[in-house]
Structure 1
Amino acid sequence: MVVFIILAKTTGHDEDVFLALPYGDFNIRWYHVFNIVAFLVANVWNFQLNRSWTFKSGRHAGWWREFFPFLAVGSVSAIVGLVLVTLLRNPTSPLHLPMSIFDSSSGLRDPKYWAQLISVFFTMPINFVVNKLWTFRAVRGKRLHPEQELPMVAAVVAPEVVDEEGNPIPEGTVHEDTIHDDSVRDGSGDTERG
């Protein structure tokens, strides 16, 4: 968003035609170019943050090997975002932001910023979920020895009952009614039997 704002402020003519598409009424406008540049900067930045913080793991594939799936997912989101921004900014679109509210009288009423923000709002959750489920999981592969993986829940281990010398007492030979304190259970060796 910051990159988009900087680019829009430096040119001042984001609605101007960047490239006229032949055989049609549609054009690529400067705000499309700004969106793409902002996406590329954000994609590299977000990839590194996700790689080193959000989906941190001891197992990483190479930087480029993880980046290209991340870029592919992001590119699909960027295309959806471009379509959404175009629909929000095109006066002939049914989704066009109303000029009565978004009249560009201030930054908070500027349709270019609101269209960008709405686009980010809709594409970010999809992008995150797909990257979590596919990008960072697929490129790290499966473990070679799944039996060596640590369990998600630790096994419950019952305390061992020992005699005065610290030797284990077989199960079933000690009865609760013969123990007068907890020293047999905790293995301290101080037992009192009645």
Structure 2
Amino acid sequence: MTRKAYLVMDRDYLYNDETFSPWFEDHICTAPIKVLPSRAEAEQLARELSAPRFRGLVLGDYTLDGVQELTHLKLPDFYRQLSDLLQNPAIVPKGKLSSDESWRDIEIPARLDDARLFQVMGLLSKIRFYEVIESTTTDPALLQQAEQTINKGVVDLDEYEIRTYTAPEAEISKAVSAFGLEFEPFDGGI
């Protein structure tokens, strides 16, 4: 049986003059963060990395099309569950559980405790700041090389606007190919 590994990668959400959205298509990787041996560990790291980005997030900044671009839930269920988690009954529009626009101004509190924040992040299931990708290669040597390359830290995420890579682009490209991805250096959307 082929061993699997799981890559955590940044999805590069950038402002596009109207909303924040992923800058690249799903098969493009610009920031491989870490390779982990289990999906559970990778999902946990993705949640921890995402949490600061959800604090203070205003829902309307992430879509023009509707709440279905943010969550897997129907609008009334979304309002009810978010209201319960945030302990804020005012989120539910009075008598209008199906109000199509009320959600736009909802802001996730910056001081929300981690447990509730992670639950809110679960409701906002379609906002994926960090993605977990399962390895696709059957070549154990390629997977090992990918882990070594990526886990030594190939990108400085503090340099978000224009990234500096600490490994040659050809090495990063080969490493992310173990996960069925293409590498593209990130220039901050310039």
When the two structures are superposed, what TM-score results if normalisation uses the length of structure 1? 0.25
Higher relative CO (Cα under 8 Å, sequence separation at least 6) belongs to 2
The structure whose residues are more often helix, as a share, is 1
**Which protein is bigger by CA-based radius of gyration?**
1
